Structure 1
Amino acid sequence: MKAIYCNVLVFLILFGAKSVNAQEVDDEREFDYSKHGEKGPRKWGQIKQEWDACSNGTMQSPIDLSSERVQIILKPEKKNYKAAHAIIKNRGHDVQIEWIGDGGWTSINGDDYRLRYAHWHSPSEHTVNGRSYDMELHLVHLNTNPNVGNYKIAVVGVLYKIGRADQFISRLMTDISSMTDKRNATKDLGTIDPNDINTQSKR
């Protein structure tokens, strides 16, 4: 896998409980992120009736992270990721790692968000000043609030461009290759340390 992390930014998106279902769909093959494609963002509102808000909404992905419009209003204060048991799954439209054990947490505005999943989109879902990237990683975290009885989701995004092989992804290639064309196939990865995922600039 020739993917190298390009640190234009590591960005964070928070969603309330109602937004989680909209963000984390099981099958994304019905749409894509191609700017001018028949299944791209400009066409999402026409694909399904329940997606018609995509034609006139203003607060949904994909987001263009423009330097003129983006303000830093919060950021991860600290993280405490740790090695834990994980599986890998071919979801048909992407590859996802799921931590079965406790993969640790990141703290945002005083709240702890537990790491649950990591999955990759190609091309990138989001853009920076109109520029799309070769791949985007989502580190998905959940925050359970026992006082309210619901949860919030925090997604840390990492953007990649084609370049030298990424060591973490390269380690997964044998498992990924064995699952090609086997939708919903899962494989035990043993212990995976989220700290091994490169989120530092190489530019």
Structure 2
Amino acid sequence: MYVDGTSFGPLFTGPQNWGLLFKPWMMCHNGKMQSPIDITPDRLLFDPNMRPIYVDRISVMSEMVNTGQMPRIRIGNSLNKPSANLTGGPLHGYKYRIQRIDIHVGRGDINGSEHTIDGRRFPIEIQLLAYNIDLYNDFTSASHSPHGIAAISVLVDYGDKTNEELLKLTMASAGIMYKGQRVELIELEPWRLLPYTRNIVSYEGSMTSPGCHETVTWIIINQPIHITSEDVSETVETKIKLSNVEDQKKSVDKLQMAKWGTIMQTTNKSEEPQFLAPNRRAVQELRSRLIRTNIRHLIKEKNECKIALPKVTYRSNNKQSSESRHEMPQVYSKKADDNNLIFL
């Protein structure tokens, strides 16, 4: 795990030392635009021109791997099975391709989200990381460069029903209990991990893992998705494909514990158990950065300063659409969903 000074692998001793022990990680210690942050409503600046985020509405090739620091989903890209792209929002007209999905989880009573909302931490945070394909050839180059990375943060809270796409990942997590294990994911649809709201907040920040490059436009969605406590801890029947040193793509059928908090940092049962969770970086200083939002009702209107807003129309969600992009629609059930908003 690497939370609040605990270990990060065998050589390093926590995020507070990343920039001190390894020169390429100096930004982790010296950077002024680091992530994650605590987002408080009184720091939000309303941006009437901020558009919704669009995500390609397609399935992708992917695998989930236990890196020893986090459960990570690696997204493939080929002519026959391209990766999904992001556009809109605060991305200045650029197109970003989703490269990976990082998952930050808690354990027991300790919640796992990296970003906090007015001091509140959520059980899980899902981060969809994408690189600018208009300017850069690959994720690595983009991560070191201006306007290189876009990161969508989806916060996960407990609820009565688990998000269907998150349920796929939860079941698959049974196959990555130890570092180095990996599971092939069939027909993953990243856009289904996003809640149905167009309201977002955004700020300029950094990667939350070494070397903390300050090249990330963060987009936090103003509504969590949900997972039930039963889906976090209950025994479920899964069919998984393992891909590690001992078992190269060996298909197995067995009962597994689909429980995020039990994923190990160690490589096998014979080692002394070290749990991966909670795998979060501490909240960083906001300093003078702006946090922009398109959530109008958070901003108190003053008679002497009224903003003329553009008229916005939305696609209907009642019928299946043939369009390939997913816009998080603004229309939702107020009785059902307003109580679940992150920023009220």
- Tell me, yes or no, whether TM beats 0.5: yes
> What amino acid does structure 2 have at the position aligned with 1:112?
K
Q: Deviations over 1:1-46 (max 9, x none)?
A: xxxxxxxxxxxxxxxxxxxxxxxxxxxx3x21xxxx5439xx7434
1:142 to 115, 127, 131: 131
Other-structure match for 2:184: 188
Shift of 1:166: 2.9
Other-structure match for 1:66: 40
Deviates more, 1:105-114 or 1:84-93: 84-93
Q: Deviations over 1:174-200 (max 9, x none)?
A: 32112212x122222132122322423
Shift of 1:58: 3.5
Matched, 1:45 2:45: no
Counterparts of residues 1-203 of structure 1 (less than 5 Å): 29=1, 31-32=2-3, 37-39=4-6, 44-46=15-17, 49-50=20-21, 57-71=31-45, 74=50, 76-101=52-77, 102-107=82-87, 108-122=91-105, 123-144=112-133, 145=135, 150-151=141-142, 152-164=148-160, 165-181=162-178, 183-200=179-196, 201=223, 202=337, 203=340
Higher relative contact order (CA 8 A, sep 6+): 1
Q: Deviations over 1:26-78 (max 9, x none)?
A: xxx3x21xxxx5439xx743466146765665321221112222335655553
| RMSD, aligned α-carbons | 2.9
Aligned mates of 1:156, 1:56 — CA distance in 2: 24
Given the superposition, is the C-alpha separation of residues 78 and 198 from structure 1 closer, same or farther in structure 2, using an over 3 Å criterion?
closer
Gaps of 5+ in 1: 1-28
Q: Deviations over 1:54-109 (max 9, x none)?
A: 56653212211122223356555533231121111112232122221323211122
Secondary structure at the counterpart of residue 68 of structure 1: helix
Aligned mates of 1:47, 1:159 — CA distance in 2: 26
> What amino acid does structure 2 have at the position aligned with 1:179?
I
Aligned mates of 2:70, 2:100 — CA distance in 1: 12
CA contact 2:18–2:29 (8 Å) conserved in 1: no
Gaps of 5+ in 2: 8-13, 106-111, 143-147, 197-222, 224-336
Aligned mates of 1:95, 1:191 — CA distance in 2: 18
TM-score for both structures, normalised by structure 2: 0.43
Structure with higher Rg: it is: 2
Aligned mates of 2:184, 2:129 — CA distance in 1: 19
TM-score for both structures, normalised by structure 1: 0.68
> What amino acid does structure 2 have at the position aligned with 1:190?
I
Aligned mates of 1:195, 1:77 — CA distance in 2: 11
Given the superposition, is the C-alpha separation of residues 62 and 172 from structure 1 closer, same or farther in structure 2, using an over 3 Å criterion?
closer
Alignment size in residue pairs:
166
Aligned mates of 1:99, 1:194 — CA distance in 2: 10
Given the superposition, is the C-alpha separation of residues 180 and 113 from structure 1 closer, same or farther in structure 2, using an over 3 Å criterion?
same
> What amino acid does structure 2 have at the position aligned with 1:67?
P
Q: Give the % identical residues.
A: 22
Aligned mates of 2:72, 2:46 — CA distance in 1: 28
CA contact 1:103–1:194 (8 Å) conserved in 2: no
Secondary structure at the counterpart of residue 168 of structure 1: helix
